[in-house]
Amino acid sequence: MILTHFKKVGIFFPTFFCYFSFLLLKKNKYLILVLFVFFISYKNYSQNGDYFVRNYLPKDYLAGANNLGVTQNNDGMIFVANLNGVLIFDGVNWQHCKRKDEISIQCIAKTNSGKIVVGTEDGDIALIEKDKNGKF
């Protein structure tokens, strides 16, 4: 039996075991393929670099810090139920819609037809629509 000694680690590794494993894998080509795919896919799941996530602070959207619900309309705009009103984000700019009576928005949802509906703390339900100028 031939043994190889690694001085830094202090262990003996039988080289015949490596040769025996190679012969075993040579006969079973599918096992080699499975192991190869496993090691390639393992490397592909590692994530490095920047992510497409951006966190927005209340100073960015000029409203309160408590957001109670989020939905998206059919045009891709994000609607956020905030204690200070509804926040609308088009991907670049924030728009803030308040009720005249300053009652907070508690929930928000999109209907099957694509309309945005909000619920307030006093039990009212309101529909968010664009005005003549295209603003919400």
Spatial separation of the C-alpha atoms in residues 64 and 106, rounded to whole Å: 13
Query: In the chain, how many domains are there?
Result: 2
Are 123 and 68 contained in the same domain? yes
The CATH number of whichever domain residue 96 belongs to comes to 2.40.10
Residues 64 and 121 in one domain: yes
| 31 & 69 share domain | no
Looking at residue 6, its pLDDT comes to: 44
CA–CA gap between residue 136 and residue 99 (Å, rounded) = 12
Work out the number of other CB atoms within 10 angstroms of the CB of residue 36: 10
Average pLDDT over residues 45-65: 78
Average pLDDT over residues 54-65: 88
Q: Which two tokens stand for residue 107?
A: 């929930």
- Same domain for 39 and 63? no
Q: Structural domain of residue 119, as residue ranges?
A: 58-128
* Within-domain flag for 135: no
Q: How many CA atoms lie within 13 A of 37 on its CB side?
A: 6
pLDDT, position 71? 94
The whole-number pLDDT of residue 13 equals 46
Residues 17 and 75 in one domain: no
Q: Are 21 and 67 in a shared domain? A: no
Domain assignment present for 51:
no
In a domain, 53, yes or no: no
Note whether 62 and 114 are same-domain residues: yes
**Residue pLDDT, tens place only, 69-113:** 999 999 899 999 998 889 999 989 999 988 778 788 899 999 999
pLDDT the model gives residue 64: 87
List pLDDT tens digits, range 111-134: 999 899 999 888 889 898 888 887
* Per-residue confidence (pLDDT) for residue 129, from 0 to 100: 85
pLDDT tens-digit readout, 5-49 = 444 444 444 444 455 555 555 566 666 666 666 666 555 555 566
**pTM of the full predicted structure?**
0.61
Q: What is the pLDDT of residue 123?
A: 87
